[in-house]
Structure 1
Amino acid sequence: MREFFKSLHMSGDFWGGLAAMLVALPASIAFGVTIYSAIAPAHAALGALAGIVGATVIGLIASTLGGTDRLISAPCAPAAAVLSAFAIGLVADGVPQGNIILMLLMLGILAGLFQVLFGVVGIGRLIKYIPYPVVSGYLTGVGLIIIGSQIGKLVGTEAGTTWYHSLVSPWLWDWRAVAVGAATMLAMLLGPGITRRVPGTILGIAAGTATYFGLALQDESLFELAGNPLIIGPLGASSDGYLDSITGRWHEIGDVRLAQVAALLGSALTLAVLLSIDTLKTCVVLDQMTRSRHDPNRELVAQGIANVASSSVGGIPGAGTMGATLVNLSSGATTRASGLVEGISALIFALVLSNFIAWIPVSALAGILIAVGLRMIDREPLRFIQSPATVFDFAVVVTVVVVALTIGLIAASGVGVAMAIILFLREQIGGSVVRHKFYVNQMSSNWHRPESETRILEQKGDQAVIFELQGSLFFGTTQQLYGELEPELKTRNFVILDMKRIQSLDVTAAHMLRQVRDALTERQALLLLSNVRENLPNGRNLREFLEQTGVTENTDTVRLFPELDSAIEWVEDRLLGEVEQLQPAPETPLELAEMELFKNRKDDTLADLDARLERRTYPAGATIYSRGEPGDAIYLIRRGTVRIFAPLGAGRTRHIASFGRGDFFGGLAFLDGRPRGDDAVAATETEFFVLSQEQFSLLADEHKRLAVTLLTALARSLALRLRHADTEIAMLQEY
């Protein structure tokens, strides 16, 4: 406990929490009055108490259980909009007032339970990915609903008068309410320009209350507390007042019909989503300002428990609020303790100032809420009209707002989800699922082949086409992909689809792959799939899924390869006319004269070279040399296969080349004398002729012509490899 108060003193959490309370408490009272006065004007005082309870309970529990420092949680505008709209609907249906209060409490509890569920199953990380146009439409719709619900209170018309009728009927106005509301809004508007030490809501209430008592000097009836429609009135927090009212409502739960409870679920889900968005949006802004990082799922669980507790004792639900949080931050708060201070101080101030709260004018609270609603209206989407690329996003915002105003927030939430799906589909369909398209004579395998074979592949390589795919293959992109594949299906003998960058694949895409396979089978051509992984980002086993959907059921027409290079290598072997053997014949070691590098050389010259060579044998898997070792030798392969691996960092490597019988490797380091830049590993048991730089120097002294011939042959082979590599790099840059 001592450390807690020390933290308050040292970090400014006390003053931050106190300042945040001055912002949150008046707004909470206003939200409560809005909700309960929708049932009947006589319930305004009960609504004020519900706002106070909400500010206290949510502030204490959310700050204790949540993990976000400086976040202030309290009743908020989305809760007021949903609950007041829900109450108005029940009143129109003729539901008894007592049952309406009970159902409001149940709605808050269900919304809190939904939030807990969101956090437990990890939806907290997904809610923040709702597209900005949808969130903007939600917030603007809520802001307009708040404004519409307060116009009648601002001008003092009778309960039940619609906002537009109140707005266009000045003869129905109570000019005393208009004067109080105007003074409140004017103070909130001009106050920040005069002083930033006092929150705008406090200035607004002070100005509105002062105006009210100024009018009361002219009209003594305004000094009457009971039955005065212009003020909140007695709070009734005694044992036979508020507490008995709430406990009495729970005793009436048996009177609530099952159909009514079922009807709560849709509204509760909508409210839970809106509260979650409000909280996480505030957390994201807070992270950006403090360079911190919140845990969205933990925060949703904490907010949900706080809302359940608040509604259980008669309070209204809430969320992490932007205004109070920013005031808390600017006042020096650094930890979650500031939220506890806000909750405790809200209760203390409400108890101490309960008599004053009863005299707060309803139109002053309406002015505060209208100011809050105006701030919630997002004007940023107006820029979307300026560009054809963002006109659809503007249409999404307008659609969500219109549905929220004409039908309701529940329908707006459904439209918002549908619009989010449309936005996703638009982005997915707008991009190409084909990352690269090559032919085998443009993109060869890592197997370094003799010059004669390379020339053959340059001529025949266009018989095989390679498609590197990316993104999601689903019903929205299937036709696009088939349109790019179709021309190649009529002329190519091999079609390679690389699935390395595929994020997901649905049944429609699998059906399209079957069509591709069948079209190739009719021409006795083959479909090759590479990088068919067992775990996609969405958790699906791609290999198993392709088997279940029948794509790979016939291994004679569809072949799977672990990586693209192995698929290209397999095609190259087919194009070169090599016959696939189940058990390859054992290789016999080559002699110097049999190697392409030394063809047409004199026997006596080769004999001198042979005398300088060292013969080595490495078992399969053995490291021949490693990165960083001196490059003092060149390796001539008599038999076997060698793979070269380049470093990628963090201990990772990548296979970049393969060399077989009759080829050589290690030439670059041998020529420039620098350390090895990669690793060489024997893929099979391998025999070598090894020529060290020391032996080459001795050979050069005795046979200068042979040394020059050897260097020329090495340089020519390396030049051919580099030329081919340059061509592949140019092709990659082309795309």
Structure 2
Amino acid sequence: MEFLKNNIPIINTIATYKKEYFRFDFIAALTVAVVALPQSMAYAMIAGVDPAYGLYSAIVLAILGSVFGSSNHLATGPTNAVSLLISSYMAVYLGQGNFLATLFLLTFMVGAIQFAMGALKLGKLVNYVSHSVIVGFTAGAGVIIALGQLNALLGISLSQGKHSTLEKVMLTFENMDKMNNYALLLGIFTILVIIVSKKISKNIPGALLGIIFSVVLVMLMGLDKYGIKMAGEIPSAIPPFSMISLNLESINSLLGGAIVIAVIGLVEAVSISKAISAQTMQKIDPNQEFIGQGIANMGGAFFGSIAGSGSFTRSAIAFQNGGRTRLTGVITGIVILVLLLFFAPFAKYIPNASLAGVIMVVAYTMVDKNAVSKVFKSNRNDAIVMTITFLTTILAPELEYAIYSGIAISILLYLKETGAASVVRLAPVNGSPGQLVEYHTACGNGQPVNSTISVVQLDGNLYFGSSADLEQKLNDVYSDARVLVVKFTGVTMMDITSLEVIEGFISRVLKEGKKVLLCDVRPSIKRMMEKSHILSMVGEGNVFVTEEEVLASSAKALEKADAWLRGEIDIDFGLGKKVSQPSSQPVG
């Protein structure tokens, strides 16, 4: 039983459920369902499939995602970014008899990859897709989605087949003489209803009202006779069960796309869960969320669902409208199913232009202007990553190139930044024990410093990428001081390449008869020094390990250096050699 509680979170929710929660969960679920109806149909259109499959996804994925996921508020179902990716990868199968079988296989593969990543505890991998990549990709996807719906908004039918976004726009303008004015008016009307509803209150489901009013206009005025393309009939209110066709050739051709969709879906889901949990204080388990998303997509594949993820809009609605537990998502799926049972016959009167209007508004909201502005203002590298990802999303022939390029540029810029080692020369202030100042600054303002002791402070992670810069900067700070104190204050990680550079530097100092002390050395770094023989070169008694008291290690090293220079002690500098320093040597 404990195993089930740990792996099926809803069991624990039901065991601790309080009856007063139900009212909040039900109201939140009803509100989410009202928004999910037009959204899921619109997202199915973005994916290039019948709106019915979007509705099936809104039912099945919402229930399974809530049952097995980590977050209490994450609303799983069709999303704009994932639907756009589906459209990209499924375009080559349009018009083929195996289109739907391949689509559901893709959904299953996405879920299987996500489940495997969760089972293997790879939840932290989403951290390697930076926020700038997501902002750039989402904004670019918004532009593509809006341009891709232009022909539907204008009531212009295009030839079947794979068309890039730019090709669709060009074909649309070439066929402007075929524009349907009634379709355009219905699309604009839907957009205006959504905008006005938001102005009145954010809680008004403008998208749903726009769809309902459009259906009423079509039915009352007989607009379907004027060549307006409709959404068509929903074949069944209950998601149909069908087996997955595991075709090896299709699996091979879909694998790359499935991996991209799986990763983007997980990034969306975990990001949204964490954003809401920051307000609810719920602890989110990324691995469990991976498993929840995986089961949702795998299960949905057997019930006519397209791949989905967490929806920020619907998740925020669930939270803002008082949802208390994960049962909100389960009830949402049930409510959508009930609505379909009674209102599915009216779906055939929904104009595609109205759905295109809903999608246009969604596409506009995808461009997070505040996030874009924040990225531009905060960091040049992040701005570069976001811009390249944005442009690649719009212009690249395949959408995964945008993600790959964004991640690649992020890594390259990170490596460029971390390739610069932080090396600073400090010096003790005469008459102020333990006080260190930057050497060149002190000399510039005439501050009295002890020039016989040179302190070299290292910061950051030292690895092969920064080794060349480290070697150059260590040479630059080399001085005539007779005692060198190397501070490893901010060094938490070193590799063998960096250790060899430091070993060469220490060897040079010792060969000239000077002395070396190491301080603020973390235990893990000290163990590495022992294995690379640095410890035996310097002498273990001259290596001061980091202590809880700030700068205690540095103070001890400086005190020992001073004592040696005054001739008060002999220092064993490794390999059993003791060096005595005459007391007549000057200090300062």
Task: Indicate the SS of the match to 1:402.
Answer: helix
Task: Pick from 224, 232, 256 the counterpart of residue 266 of structure 1.
Answer: 256
Q: Which residue of 2 aligns with 1:344?
A: 334
**Compared CA separation, residues 496 and 196, structure 1 to 2 (3 A):** closer
Distance 1:314 1:548 in 2: 59
Q: Percent identity?
A: 23
Shift of 1:335: 1.8
Distance 2:374 2:201 in 1: 35
Shift of 1:35: 2.0
Shift of 1:107: 2.6
Q: How many residues of Structure 1 are paired with residues of Structure 2 in the alignment?
A: 534
Shift of 1:557: 11
Distance 2:67 2:291 in 1: 12
Distance 2:172 2:81 in 1: 23
Distance 2:92 2:500 in 1: 48
Q: Is residue 6 from structure 1 mapped to residue 5 from structure 2 by the alignment?
A: no
Distance 1:101 1:545 in 2: 57
Distance 1:390 1:2 in 2: 47
Q: Is residue 200 from structure 1 mapped to residue 206 from structure 2 by the alignment?
A: yes
Shift of 1:404: 1.3
- Structure 1 residue ranges without an equivalent (≥5): 38-43, 223-228, 447-458, 536-541, 583-735
Distance 1:575 1:3 in 2: 70
CA contact (8 A) 1:31 1:76 kept: yes
Q: Is residue 510 from structure 1 mapped to residue 509 from structure 2 by the alignment?
A: no
Q: Deviations over 1:608-628 (max 9, x none)?
A: xxxxxxxxxxxxxxxxxxxxx
**Compared CA separation, residues 505 and 265, structure 1 to 2 (3 A):** farther
Q: Is residue 177 from structure 1 mapped to residue 183 from structure 2 by the alignment?
A: yes
Q: Which residue of 2 aligns with 1:34?
A: 46
Code of the residue aligned with 1:371 in structure 2: it is: V
Q: Deviations over 1:377-432 (max 9, x none)?
A: 12236647986x745433322210111122232111111112222443465467x7
Aligned 1:372-391 pairs, distance under 5 A = 372-380=362-370, 383=373, 390-391=379-380
Task: Indicate the SS of the match to 1:168.
Answer: helix
Q: Is residue 529 from structure 1 mapped to residue 518 from structure 2 by the alignment?
A: yes
CA contact (8 A) 1:71 1:283 kept: yes
Q: Is residue 283 from structure 1 mapped to residue 243 from structure 2 by the alignment?
A: no
Task: Indicate the SS of the match to 2:486.
Answer: strand
Q: Which residue of 1 aligns with 2:30?
A: 18
Distance 2:544 2:217 in 1: 81
Task: Pick from 491, 494, 498 the counterpart of residue 483 of structure 2.
Answer: 494
Shift of 1:279: 1.7
Shift of 1:166: 4.2
Task: Indicate the SS of the match to 1:496.
Answer: strand
Task: Indicate the SS of the match to 1:438.
Answer: strand
Task: Indicate the SS of the match to 2:460.
Answer: strand
Task: Indicate the SS of the match to 2:484.
Answer: strand
Shift of 1:143: 1.5
Q: Deviations over 1:475-516 (max 9, x none)?
A: 454455444432443423332222242122234422321331
Q: Which residue of 1 aligns with 2:566?
A: 576
Shift of 1:566: 4.5
Q: Deviations over 1:681-718 (max 9, x none)?
A: xxxxxxxxxxxxxxxxxxxxxxxxxxxxxxxxxxxxxx
Q: Is residue 414 from structure 1 mapped to residue 404 from structure 2 by the alignment?
A: yes
Code of the residue aligned with 1:158 in structure 2: it is: L
Distance 1:338 1:104 in 2: 28
Q: Which residue of 2 aligns with 1:152?
A: 151
CA contact (8 A) 1:25 1:52 kept: yes
Shift of 1:80: 0.5
**Compared CA separation, residues 434 and 345, structure 1 to 2 (3 A):** same
Distance 2:380 2:490 in 1: 31
Shift of 1:573: 4.3
**Compared CA separation, residues 197 and 377, structure 1 to 2 (3 A):** closer
Give the alignment's TM-score, normalised by structure 2: 0.80
Highest CA radius of gyration, 1 or 2? 1
**Compared CA separation, residues 167 and 533, structure 1 to 2 (3 A):** same
Q: Which residue of 1 aligns with 2:578?
A: none
Shift of 1:444: 5.0
Q: Deviations over 1:244-279 (max 9, x none)?
A: 7x43xx34x34x41xx42343322222122212222
Q: Which residue of 1 aligns with 2:508?
A: 519
Distance 2:329 2:504 in 1: 61
Q: Which residue of 1 aligns with 2:130?
A: 131
Distance 2:103 2:532 in 1: 49
Q: Deviations over 1:544-570 (max 9, x none)?
A: 444556655745799644344454344
Distance 2:375 2:131 in 1: 15
Q: Which residue of 2 aligns with 1:56?
A: 59
- Higher RCO (CA < 8 A, seq sep 6+): 2
Code of the residue aligned with 2:19 in structure 1: it is: K
Distance 1:113 1:345 in 2: 27
**Compared CA separation, residues 190 and 238, structure 1 to 2 (3 A):** closer
Q: Which residue of 2 aligns with 1:485?
A: 474
Code of the residue aligned with 1:54 in structure 2: it is: S
CA contact (8 A) 1:155 1:166 kept: no
Distance 2:272 2:487 in 1: 42
Task: Indicate the SS of the match to 1:310.
Answer: helix
Alpha-carbon RMSD: 3.6
CA contact (8 A) 2:456 2:477 kept: no
Q: Which residue of 2 aligns with 1:332?
A: 322
Q: Which residue of 1 aligns with 2:10?
A: none
Distance 2:375 2:16 in 1: 54
CA contact (8 A) 1:489 1:495 kept: no
Q: Which residue of 2 aligns with 1:465?
A: 454
Distance 2:506 2:232 in 1: 78
Give the alignment's TM-score, normalised by structure 1: 0.65
Q: Is residue 361 from structure 1 mapped to residue 351 from structure 2 by the alignment?
A: yes
CA contact (8 A) 1:166 1:173 kept: no
Task: Indicate the SS of the match to 2:19.
Answer: helix
Shift of 1:326: 2.4
CA contact (8 A) 1:230 1:361 kept: yes
CA contact (8 A) 1:185 1:368 kept: yes
Distance 1:460 1:188 in 2: 71
Q: Is residue 163 from structure 1 mapped to residue 175 from structure 2 by the alignment?
A: no
CA contact (8 A) 2:425 2:477 kept: no
Code of the residue aligned with 1:335 in structure 2: it is: T
CA contact (8 A) 2:462 2:494 kept: yes
Code of the residue aligned with 2:170 in structure 1: it is: H
**Compared CA separation, residues 2 and 490, structure 1 to 2 (3 A):** closer
CA contact (8 A) 1:437 1:467 kept: yes
Distance 1:62 1:436 in 2: 56
